Chain A
Amino acid sequence: MDFSFTILILALPLFSFALLGLTSKSLKADLAGYAGTTSLLVITVLSYLAAWRYFGGGDAEAGFGTTIAMNYLWLNFTDTLQIHIGILLDSLSIMMLVVITTVSLMVHIYSLGYMKGEKGFQRYYAFLSLFTFSMLGLVVATNIFQMYIFWELVGVSSYLLIGFYYERPSAVAASKKAFIVTRFADLGFLIGILMLSFSTGTFDFDALTSPTGPVISQPAGSLFMGLSVTTWAMLFIFMGGAGKSAMFPLHIWLPDAMEGPTPVSALIHAATMVVAGVYLVARLFPIYAMSAPEALDVISYIGSFTSLFAAVIACTQLDIKRVLAYSTLSQIGYMMVALGVSGYGGEAGLGYMASLFHLFTHAFFKALLFLGAGSVIHAVHSNMMTDMGGLRKYMPVTHVTFLIACLTIAGLPPLSGFFSKDEILVAAFEHNKIIFAVQWLVAGITAFYMFRLYFNIFWNRTPEYHHAPHESPVTMTLPLSFLAVASVFAGFVPFHELVTSDGKAFETSFHVLVALPSIAVALVGIGLAYIMYFKQNERPTKLAASISGIYTAAFHKFYIDEIYIFITKGIIFQFISRPVAWFDRHIVDGTMNLIGNTTVAASVVIRRLQSGKVQLYIWFFASGVLLLTLYMLLQ
């Protein structure tokens, strides 16, 4: 089947970036917005077309294959290690195309209203186009180095968008932090690529992940500290993924990244870029499952811990975007857990399917939550939930869609979050009971903090607003409504027939033993939130006081930021850079100056011999003669 049209999916956003970037202010703001949005609409249609052709043309029973739509040589390192820039289409990348273009389109439309009148509107749309280009390039990569290239480009677009309000110091700091933390993680990714590509002699995903290919079928090479080289390489590569997906302890940049415009948070820091780590592990999943099972265990532990850790912090935060940011961490933790407990092929690959299913549904309901939060922030001009309350009366559309999103993330049937989370819990249950217990608990905490958020925004006491909040314009409510519909129905997509670890369909069964407790715990969470936050009362303060130690620690995000500041400012700046700078000035350069000064000093001494005074010369001469005569006489 011909998929060559997919080249437009990459070309259009790049073109739109170049156009908006070069014309910048000479283009009228509205026009720039429409241009960007139109180009995205076309890409979305093309992605859907690709999905329709791919899934429609394939046979689920036999398994969906892999199509390389195009592949150009970009740079060759050696005869075998070559970077191609191309488009690889399989069920995984097609699913990502659909998710990214859909959410991105919604964000483009939404931003027409949200960013209206902002300075740098054209720049904003240029950056959005750049991001979309990079993200799409990442998911269709045909080889791991292409992925790395776009991975970095995604990082820089995220940097530019977080720092969009560049006159605000906090935004500048946040963007810098995000870039450097992920860059540090990317160092691991790079080392992983170097190790993997050296031992396998290829960058191509096709060759790397083929179960019968040399990478997987050959026995692992030498061991280092009990793990094979492949396992080490895969762990390093996961480090890159953990950075982008903000897994503990590399998560610190994500909450700060909320300094960016809210639609950006919805697109990049909720639905697309932050799941790149999940995508990376999924893309290389056959290697993880068959050659590096230890790495997979590590992934499941880190994912599980992050999901619990972030959920606890989310219960204490007051900035609504930060609550959502921690919620995102927690949900990505779920996806990582699912990958970590999965096997390869058939029903053993349930976790793999569940992870991507959750990625799919999460993209919609989390984008909806962020855009809803943006709508609220747009109305009350504050991020703090203490400045909100009773907004259901003023903003009906935002209220209903936000409620739907909260119910979805809480995992109540028949909304999409229920299905995907349930599959993850089933997969965890079959693999590791402790992880299952943790994830089950986190499901309850999730329901609690989401409804804490919901009640605090839309119910509870109504503060005195300076001017009455009003519903957002239709450019904003339309995407909200669309995403709400998607959140409700995305769960009915038959993922187990479409996106599976080996491309072949398998049967999933409904586990009452897992589903009922998870519904129950969600209801308990919602109930607790209702008791504490539905109406204004003293219970939250009392509870916080009674567990003040944990509460304070959670409120301060368990002091991880402080540890980082100590390491960067205290150790790297003060204890490495500063001494290096001093050493260079005073020791290295000092030596050079010393050589110079010694030469000068020596010349001062020697100069006296060349004074030009004839008497002195005669004196030298005479004493020389005298000395020589004496010497000869004595001999």
Chain B
Amino acid sequence: MNPLLLLILIPALTMAGIMLAGDVKQARVISAVGMSAQLLFSFVLLYWFYQLRQSGNTDEMVFVSTTVWYPSLNIQLKFGIDGISMSMIMLTSIVTFAGVFVSWQVEYLTKEFFISLILLATGVFGFFISLDLFTMFLFYEVAVIPMYLLIGIWGSGPKEYSAMKLTLMLMGGSALLLVGLLGIYFNSAANGGPLTFDLMQIAKNGLPREAQMFFFPFTFIGFGILGALFPFHTWSPDGHASAPTAVSMLHAGVLMKLGGYGCFRVAMYLMPEAAHAMAWFFIILTTVSVVYGAFGAIWQKDLKYINAYSSVSHCGLVLFALLMMNETATTGALLQMISHGLMTALFFALIGMIYGRTHTRMIDEMGGLMKVIPFVSVLYVFAGLASLGLPGLSGFVAEMTIFVGSFQNVDTFHRVATIVACSSIVITAVYILRVVGILLLGPVRNNHYLELKDAMWFEKLGGVTLLVSIMIIGIAPLWLSNLLREPLAAMLNQLTN
């Protein structure tokens, strides 16, 4: 059996276990055990991956297995990973692990909550290991649907509106995507042979230029919506604001990465000519995203809105760097995906902890939290510093790789775009320090807060897991950078020729 299938099987078994669980406590423990096993298995997989590479295996994809699923349309269950998907799997399992622990205290419909949460994660895992466009799309939808339920049922505020908005906008993206994918499918045999959804096969065959020019925008925008591409990002602030903590974590931390991953692996990789021809337009959009999101964040008062806008800015940087289409910038984009995934998950976890205690997310209603809940506050400062790109934390590594990489494009247009994007490091510092100053420092403004309890063990576990991951990347980035870079040479070769 393909070991990758375990990535789907473990969550499936966990869900079955939760269903059989007698009470809330058992459900929690089963989820925790399941996701710990998943995390552990990701490490094992990473080890196997390195072993394969060390033994001289230089295949583009490893652990490949193919099963024809629906012969008349040539749909296959084709799985396989390379360095990029490997690191995305690591990211997903870390964030899911932390998410389960942060949701420890969910009281309402606990079993259903954990099942939906893990189902969402399963969709993401499936997406990252799929090499068949149809299966990929299938898993993508598997991830989006539970999101609707999670926000609609366990959310807060105008949750029905937000859940509906988020789902509809993402579904709109899916619709565009479906058009794009079918377009790719029906042009996949331009040089003879059967039509196929097989990613690697399509890349090898190549698509005709006219088809690329027509279907690239559909695919890129379809995935781009998920990656919070300006101006299709507004589901993000509302959606996050209403979503329960773990859902925000998974969503911003992992699901939004599907967008960037898809933009690169499907849209750009399969349609390189169109990508080249249209890059300028999307570079403008993403440059706007980067700066616009950062400026938008300055004016917000709700913690989740601040983080949502900050995500628009940071995810804008991901697409921005991908469109630069050189090895360094692309490595930076992938690093940024992982870095942003971890730190934004940490942010949302902490916001959840703060909200759970103070019952507000408005920064001007709080103040001086450092004194009353130091553990949460210190983690928040760390997350903030990672977000504003402090060396030693992951954000710096990613951003610098992006900026240096983008600057390698010599023409004035790319240079100016890079410098504009660089300026976000200052604006980010402004809004992060503003929040830290108002929320955590200063005198305690509300006397009720003096009695707040600091983080519980499960919250500490979730938060520290994320922080440690951020620090490992920040302090020793070389291994990850090499892991991501390894498959890029071949892919970029495809893109630049």
Which residues on A are within 8 Å of B, measured CB to CB? 73-78, 81, 145, 148-150, 152-153, 156, 159, 163, 166-169, 172-173, 176, 179-180, 183-184, 186-187, 190-191, 194-195, 197-198, 572-573, 576-578, 580-581, 584, 588-589, 591-592, 596
Contacts and interface: CB of A to CB of B under 8 A. Distances in A.
Interface string B393-423: 0001100110111011000000000110011
B445 to A, nearest CB: 11
B385 A169 contact: no
A183 B391 contact: no
Nearest to B332: A77
A150 B392 CA distance: 10
B379 interface: no
B481 to A, nearest CB: 6
A580 B296 contact: yes
B391 A169 contact: no
B441 A167 contact: yes
B426 A184 contact: yes
A577 B371 contact: no
Nearest to A152: B391
A145 B399 CA distance: 13
Interface of B: 165, 168-169, 230-231, 233-235, 238, 292, 295-296, 298-300, 327-328, 368, 370-371, 385, 388-392, 396-397, 400-401, 403-405, 407-408, 418-419, 422-423, 425-426, 429-430, 433-434, 437, 440-443, 477-478, 481
Given A75-B477, A584-B296, A194 B426 contact: no
Contacts of B440: 166
A298 B310 CA distance: 37
Given A77-B401, A577-B299, A592-B169, A163 B481 contact: no
Given A153-B390, A194-B403, A580-B295, A187 B422 contact: yes
B410 to A, nearest CB: 8
A573 B298 contact: yes
Closest 9 CB pairs of A and B: A581-B299, A589-B234, A577-B298, A149-B391, A577-B299, A166-B441, A580-B295, A172-B441, A194-B407
26 contacts: A75-B400, A75-B481, A77-B404, A78-B328, A78-B408, A145-B400, A148-B391, A150-B391, A152-B389, A152-B391, A153-B390, A153-B391, A163-B441, A167-B442, A169-B442, A169-B443, A176-B433, A180-B426, A190-B425, A194-B404, A194-B407, A197-B404, A572-B430, A576-B295, A581-B299, A588-B231
A180 B429 contact: yes
A78 B327 contact: yes
A81 B404 contact: yes
Nearest to B482: A76
Contacts of B300: 581
A573 B478 CA distance: 38
Contacts of A191: 419, 422
Contacts of B481: 75-76
A190 B391 contact: no
Nearest to A589: B234
A372 to B, nearest CB: 30
Contact of B295 (A76, A577, A588): A577
A186 B400 CA distance: 13
A456 to B, nearest CB: 33
Nearest to B385: A156
Given A77-B328, A159-B433, A190-B403, 13 more contacts: A73-B478, A75-B400, A153-B392, A167-B371, A180-B426, A187-B425, A580-B296, A580-B299, A581-B295, A581-B296, A584-B234, A588-B233, A592-B235
Contacts of A149: 391-392, 396
Given A172-B441, A197-B404, A166 B169 contact: no
A74 B478 contact: yes
Nearest to A163: B441
Interface centre among B231, B404, B478 (most CB of A within 10 A): B404
B174 to A, nearest CB: 16
B426 A75 contact: no
Contacts of A150: 391
Contacts of A148: 391
B426 A580 contact: no
B296 to A, nearest CB: 5
Contacts of A169: 442-443
B392 A75 contact: no
